[in-house]
Structure formats: C-alpha cells, structure tokens
A and B are shown apart, each in its own frame.
Chain A
Amino acid sequence: MKSLFKSELIKSELTLLIIVLCGVIVLFSAGTPRFLTLGNFGSIAFQLPALGLLTLAMLAPILSGGLNLAIVYTANLSGLTLAWVLISFGGPDAGPLAFALGSIAAIAVGALSGLVMGLVIAYVGAHPILVSLAMMIFLRGLGEFLTRGGDISGFPEYLRPIGHGSILGVPIPLLLFLGVAALWHVLLAHTRHGAAVYMIGSNIRASEYSGVHTRRTLTLIYTLSGVLCALAGILMLTRFNSVRVGHGEALLLITVLACFLGGVDPFGGFGRVLPVVLALIILQSVSSGLNLLGANQHLSTAVWGLLLIGVMMLRHLAGRFDHLKKFCHLKKVNHFRQGK
C-alpha cells in the first residue's frame, strides 16, 4: 500500500514536470522557429552535462537531509589539479597517459575534499550547510591563492573531443552525463547505500537505531559527491579549454534549484534521479529558448527562479486538492460505516 502510494506520488511528480516541459517547448516553438531544430537540441545537449553532473553531486547530500555548497569550487580545484598535471607534462604536448594520471589526481582531490566534509559532518555532528560553506570558502581561497585569480589554459588538442565531440551524433558530454545519471539512479534506488541515504534523510536517529552505519554512509555520500564534482571539473576543463577558479560559480544555487524543481524534498528522504534530470532539461530549454529569442542570460536566471516558485505553488495546490479528495472520500466511507 505504501509503495503504491509512493509510486503514485512519483508518477504525479513526473507528470507535472512533463507538462511543464511540454509547455516550455510549445511556448518557445511558437516564439521562434529555431527552437525546434537539431542545432538547438545539440546546444542544449552540450550545455546540460556540466550543470547536470554538479546537480547529481548536490542530489545525494540533499537526500540525506544536508547540502553541499562546495560543489563548484571542488570542481574548480579538481580541474586545477588536472591542469597542473597536464602543464607539468608539457602542456599542449602532454600525452594521454598524463591525462589519465591527471584525471585520477583530480578525482582524488575531489574525493578528498568530500571526505573531509563527510568526516566533519558525520563524526563532529556539525550542520552540513555550515561545513560545506566553510569548505567552499576554504577551497575558493586555496584556488585563488594558487592561481592568483588568473586563467590556466594550453591543453593538448586531443582533449577537445571530450568536450565538443560526438559519437553517432550523440555528444560525448551528454553520454558521460547520462552514464553517470544511470549509475546514480542504480546506486540510489537499488543498493544498500542508496537505501541508507533515504533512511538517513527521513530520520537519522531512527536509522541509526535500526542498524544503519550512519556515519560511514554520510562520509561516503560526501566523498561520492566530491568525485562527481571532479568529473564535472574535468568536463568543464575540456569544454572551455581553460580553468579558472570561480568558473561556474553561478551554477551553485542553480543546482539546488534543479533538485527542488525535480521534486526532491528539501528536508531529505524523498526524491529521485529521473525527475531531477527532467528538471535540468526544462531549465536548459528555458535558457536556450530565451537565448534564441534574444534575451540575455540574466533574464533566464530570473525565469528559472520564477519557474521554481510557480512549480512549488502548483505542487502545493495539487497537494491540497489531493488532500481534499482523500478527505471527502474518508468522510464518505465513515458515513457509510456509520449508516451501517
């Protein structure tokens, strides 16, 4: 019964988002003939993955009832690590081995920053917002200290396809993102770790008493979040062919917005990967549609904010309607019983 209710909830969540997406598509196709073209979808597909990976990095911490505000700077610092390895192997002449080595180092850096946060959150019991905020300030400072606020560029030519190439017409960044999203879906929905994440988000005390190793799970959540940030950092390096600390800074709150738009419970415990991916597609479509209409990025930022408010309102009204329906139903049943 409970699972039935839950699946219904998710279905209504998906329906709402699909309706919003259709609305967005119809609106923009009416507005500009260039919206429903392959070129536009291509540009959406290339722009989505970096934001998408960061959003997935944000997802698990929110599900566990926390937040990871350090994601963008973790990605920056991981990108910086990769850049540093590539530069020390000769910049544009660095071989594929250097790239592999650098990527491993980048992922290690991402994991390390996540691990530190996870340890402090799990074993000290400090609030995740505060811990990740401090980590964010620290990483930003470290990155600015190391780069003196400048850009680092000059990477091997063979990295270009990772950020700009396609396989069978599908952009490589999109493949990477979809792969990770699928992996994350499996991790959260079908593994012991995933179940523990949801339980911690619902009630950490209860899950501790029911035998979940909450501290280990929390540490793992933030470490994996760091790993995803590192992937996003590597992707950003190949896409922009440069690394700058503060690159993508504005994405931080957008990732939170995408999660909430995707129906993730801000208190944790509920939320799935698929609706979040859908929410990302909506956000990116709005942005590229407005772009085609000649508006600037700032207007789409505003529209994103208003969209979130609108969807939350709809959700509230829908919830109230459901509640009313159930209430009426219950009343009828009671009436019937009493009559008997």
Chain B
Amino acid sequence: MLVLGLLVVSLSAASDQFLTAGNLTSLLNNNAVNVIWAVGLLVVLIAGGIDISFAVAASVVQYAAVSVFEALGGGNWLIGFAVAGVLGVALGFINASLIHGFRIITIVVTIATFNAFFGLLMFFTKGRFIYNLPDWWTTRVVLWEHQSADGRWAELNLPVLVTLVCVVLTWVLIRHTTLGRQLYAFGDNPDGAARAGVSVALMQFVAFGWMGLMAGIGGLMQVNITQEVVPNALIGRELDVLAAVVLGGARLGGGRGTVVGCVLGVLLVAVTQNGLNLLGVSPFAFKMIIGAIILLAISTTNLSFRRP
C-alpha cells in the first residue's frame, strides 16, 4: 500500500500525463479482467490451493459461450453472464472434484487441466479466431464519460463496473459469511478445520467454483474489451496474475490474504507499467523492471517479519 502510494506520487511528479482522468480511467479499463481473475485466485489461495488453469479456462468459456449464443440465436448481457458463469463454475468443479475425489494436490491438478484444457481447445478450434460475435457482446458500454479541457475523452466502461461487483462480492464472501471464515481456517490448517467440522469437499468446491465463476466472467469481459475470441490470447497471464496476488499479501499455502491487498497488488503492477510507458521507457524493458520490482518487493516485505 505504501509502495503504491509512493509510486503514484512519484509518477505524478515525473509525468504530468499520469494524473489525468483519461490515463487513470484507461488504466482501470485495461486491468478490469486481471482484477476479476485476481480476486478469484485469492479465494483459492486463501483456501490453501493454487490454480494455474484459470486463464485457459477463460478461453474455453469464451469458445463454448460463442457456440451457446449461436444456438440461442443471440442472447443478451443477462444470458451472457449466466452462460459464462455456469461454464466457468463447471470448469472449476472439474478441478475441485479431481482434487477432492482423488486427493491430488491442487497444483498438480491445475497443471494437468491447464494442459488438457489448452490442448483440447486448440485441437477442436484448430486455433481459429472468431470475430463474428453478437453485437451486444462487443459493443462498448460506457458508464461514465468526461471530456477534459484538452478535448480528450475519459470513460469508464462496463468491465470496470463488473470488476467492482466481483470485488465486493468476493469481499462479502470471504469476510462476512461463515463460508469465508471456514475458507481461512481450512487454508491455515486443513486437518484442524476438518476436525472442527468444516466440510473439506465444500471448501474445495467453493474455492474452485468461485475461481471458475471469476474466470468465466473475466473471459466474458475480455471479449467485450478486445472484440475478438482468440484461443491463445489469455494463456500465460495466469502467472502474472498469480505474482500480483501474492505481491498483494496473499500467502501461498493458505490462510492469509485480503481483497484490498489483492487489488492493490494488481494495480501496483499496472501502475508501474503505465508509469514506465509514460516516462518513455522502451516497452521491451517493462517486464524486466516489473520482475525486478516484484523481486525487490518480496525481499523487503519478507525481511521485516522473516519466517513467522
């Protein structure tokens, strides 16, 4: 949090472009999907698991949703959310049932399903791009717009609102329900929680179902932003999101993590990238600097309370 604050202040000082409405809103628009995924992943991390497969699952949802919409002859946002949500939850439940049914550790299952989902997706779609999508899906929905003095438009689009809803819902789930408390307890000490009467199966299905729901909705929003469905566009983003979530204080191993920290983690990475861009740093150097910052951040945050 402190790091983000410092970063924002120094960037506003360094570049007069940073603190403009246009820049800030585009920052939010562009990171909507990452935040949605991040809060989903947060729930899995709190429950002591890890998920590698969600970005690929989002791609699968996109393709499946296209066929469903074709079959329904159009659809609208309501149906869209329902379809993407159900598909996402179904994929999440595949993970959960493998994890629970055969007592396989989460990282093994999700790496396996990552390969299985992606391989099957590429095999069946033959890597085909889809541009011919329902209009409602690709039309940009502007929620708020504002023309600044220099004539540039700043706007907030639907994905930002959806992100906000997802963030709030996740916050309610993990902070204000019994289920949420059980997730923390289960992540911190699975055996202890099981003995205290927490249903292990329920925890896995809630965590991975929620992750799947967020993956599906994130996939839906991604299409709204890019207006195309590309099978390998999302693969590889899972590790970036994971890094951001863990940067935001969630513990690999379970039992710790907050929604606020998680959102800040994603924003920190996004703001860094945005700032570097505005400062005129070569785009090729972005990743390098972000990697170095994450490395530094974990080194400093872990130093202060080493091995708790």
CB within 8 Å of B: which residues of A? 69, 120, 124-127, 129-131, 133-142, 144-145, 148-149, 249, 253-254, 256-257, 260, 266-267, 295-296, 298-306, 308-309, 312-313, 316-317
Closest 6 CB pairs of A and B: A302-B119, A138-B291, A141-B287, A141-B288, A305-B115, A305-B116
| Contact present for A141 and B123 (CB under 8 Å) | no
- Whether A126 contacts B302 in the complex (CB less than 8 A), given A134-B291, A302-B118, comes out as yes
1/0 contact string of B112-147 vs chain A (CB within 8 Å): 111111111111000100000000000000000000
| Contact present for B306 and A309 (CB under 8 Å) | no
Nearest A residue (CB) for B109: A309
| Contact present for B284 and A141 (CB under 8 Å) | yes
| Contact present for B298 and A257 (CB under 8 Å) | no
Query: Size band of the B side of the interface?
Result: 35 or more
1/0 contact string of B164-192 vs chain A (CB within 8 Å): 00000000000000000000000000000
From B247, B252, B286, A129 is in contact (CB under 8 Å) with B252
- Whether A144 contacts B287 in the complex (CB less than 8 A), given A302-B116, A305-B116, A309-B109, comes out as yes
Nearest A residue (CB) for B113: A305
| Contact present for A260 and B298 (CB under 8 Å) | no
Bound-complex Cα distance A267 to B117 (A) = 25
| Contact present for B298 and A306 (CB under 8 Å) | no
Bound-complex Cα distance A109 to B76 (A) = 54
Interface SS of B by simple majority: helix
CB within 8 Å of A: which residues of B? 50, 52, 98, 102-105, 107-109, 111-123, 127, 236, 239-240, 242-243, 246-247, 251-253, 282, 284-292, 294-295, 298-299, 302-303, 306-307
| Contact present for A136 and B239 (CB under 8 Å) | yes
Shortest distance between the CB of B285 and any CB in chain A (Å): 5
Shortest distance between the CB of A160 and any CB in chain B (Å): 31
- Whether A130 contacts B113 in the complex (CB less than 8 A), given A141-B291, A299-B123, comes out as no
Given A133-B242, A139-B291, A266-B107; 17 other pairs, CB 8 A cutoff: A120-B299, A126-B299, A134-B243, A137-B287, A137-B290, A140-B291, A141-B285, A148-B284, A253-B115, A299-B119, A301-B115, A301-B116, A301-B119, A302-B115, A304-B119, A308-B115, A309-B112
From A139, A300, A308, B108 is in contact (CB under 8 Å) with A308
